[in-house]
Amino acid sequence: MELMPDEHNNTPSDLILLDAEGRALVLDFCLFVLINVYCPNETSDARLPFKMNYHYMLQERVNNLINEGREVIVVGDINISATPLDHCDGHLASNAATFHDHPARAWFHNWLTPSGCMTDVVRTFWPDRKGMYTCWNTKISARETNYGTRVDYILVTPGMLPWIKHGDIQPSLNGSDHCPISIDLHDEIVTSAGQKLTLREVMPTDRDRDEPPRLAARRWDEFSGKQTLLSSFFAKGGKTTTTTSIDSQAPGLLRPSSSQVPAILSIPAPKIAGAVLMDLTQDPSPPDACELRPFFTSTSNLKSSTPYGQNQEQKSLSPPSVPPKRKATDPPLVKANKMQKKESGPTGQRTLAAFFARPLSLSQTSTATSDPPSSDVDPSDSLHADHQLALWLSGSQDLDASFQSSPSSASSGSKAAWSQLMAPVQPPKCIIHGELTKEYTVNKPGPNKGKPFFICSRPVGPGYDKGKGERPREEVDHKYRCNFFKWSAEVRREALKDKAKPPPKQQ
C-alpha cells in the first residue's frame, strides 16, 4: 500500500496514527461485514495527506476482507463527491472539465464500478437524478435552495447486489446538516443455481455463540479486561438504612435531618394524640378546627390499623397517612376567617383619581388619619370621580405645556447626537437587486472576529456570485446572492454624513 507523503515529504511508518481519531466502526453480520466510516475532511492543504492515506487504508481493509471471501458494505460520510452530478456546481463548465483532477475524487472514481470493486447502490436506482444531495452548508442557509453535495454513500461488493431491494435518501428529515440514506434488503432470494436463501438463515441472530467473533473488542489489547459489564449499569446500589430510635437521643439534640425522619415517624400513635390533647388543655385559645383535623385523622388511622406495641419497626418505616380532602359540605371556616379579616381591615384604593392626586399637607394628613375610613362607598361616586379625572387631565395638557421651559440649544443638540449614535444601523440595499441587505457577524478567529457586516439577503444557489476571483462572470446567476459586502461601521459613517449635509435649497 502506497501512502502520500506530507508537506515535509514524510510518509507514515504505520497506520496507528490514521486510526487514532476513531473514525470507523466494524461489525460482522455473517452475511457481510459492515464498515461505518466518517472519512476526514480536507480543511486545509496540510490535511490532504492524512485524508488520502485514510482512504488508502480503508481500501486496503476492504480488499483484505474480499480476499478472505467476505462480502462488505461500507456506509457513512466519505466526504467526496463521486461525479459532477453529485455536486451543486458540478454542471458549470469551469468545474466539469477538471472535476476529477483532485486526488481524492480520482481515487474514489477508481474505487467505484466499473473501474473498482465497490458499487454505489443508491445511484444505481437513481442514475440520472439531479439534486440528490445529502449535505448542505447550514451557515449560509444552503438547504433552502438545495445548494449541497452528495458525500454520504452506501457501497457494497458485487456479492451483495442480489440482496439489495431499493435505496434512496431522505432529504425532508431535518436536524443535521446531513440527511439519512437507506437501503432495503430482500427477505429471500433465489441464486443462479436455483437455491432459495432467506435473510433469517444467512443472518442468524438467535444462535448461541461459544466464542465472540474475531472482531470483538475483547480481543483488542487496549480493551481487554477493561470493559464494564452491561449488568453493572442496571444493578441496584447497596442501600444502607440507618434507623435511630428517638429514645436514644437527647431531647435537645434532635435535628430535622434525613437520617432521623424514620425515628420521628416511629412515635406511637397514643403519644402523638396525648401530646395534642395536652397542648389543647394548656392553650386557652385552641387553634381552628380545620388545623386539628389532620392530627385526629392520622391518629385514628394509626389506632385502627395496628395496635400499639406490635410491629413498631415496620410502622416506623411506613409513610404517614394522608389527611382526607375537604368536602363541599364542610363548613367554610377558613373562608369565613378571611372574610372577617377583609371586613375588619381598611378598604384600600377605590378610585383611579387617587394615583394622580397631589400629596396632602401636614394638617390635611392629620385630619385624614383622624377620620375613620368609610366602608360604605357608592360605585357611582367612583365612576364619577374617574370621569372628572379624565376631563381634568384633558384640559390640563395645554396648561402643563405652557409651564414647561423649553430646553436649551446645547442640551437638544446633545440629545440628538446621542440618539443618532445609538440608533440601529439601517441596512443598505445591494447594488444588483436593489433589496435590503442582511447583517451578519464574523465568527472566524482573527482580527475581525465579532465585527458586523452586511451582505445580500438572497439565498445562495448554483452560480451565485462568489466574487470575480472564484466565479467567472459568464457563470454568475443573478437569481441568487450577489457579491455585495460592506462593514456595518462603514454604513454607520455614511449615514451620519448624509444627516450632516444641509437640506437642498427650495427654489
Annotated binding site: 77, 79, 177-178
Q: Is 109 helix (H, G, I), strand (E, B) or coil?
A: helix
Among this protein's residues, is 38 annotated catalytic? yes
The grid cell for 42 is 480536507
Pairing between β-strand 135-136 and β-strand 164-169 as defined by DSSP bridges: unpaired
d(CA 464, CA 354): 65
The grid cell for 322 is 394522608
d(CA 36, CA 154): 9
Which parts are annotated binding residues for Mg(2+)? 77, 79, 177-178
Among this protein's residues, is 77 annotated catalytic? yes
Give Rg (Cα) of the chain: 41
d(CA 36, CA 177): 18
Give the C-alpha distances (Å, rounded to integers) separating 313 from 258, 265, 316, 432.
17, 10, 5, 86
Place of cell 400499639: 308
> Given 28, 38, 102, 440, which residue is catalytic?
38
d(CA 311, CA 334): 38
> Given 102, 178, 186, 433, which residue is catalytic?
178
Backbone φ and ψ for 185, nearest 5 degrees, come out as -110, 145
Q: Is 258 helix (H, G, I), strand (E, B) or coil?
A: helix
d(CA 275, CA 267): 11
Greatest C-alpha distance within the chain: 117
Q: Which residues are known to be catalytic? A: 38, 77, 178
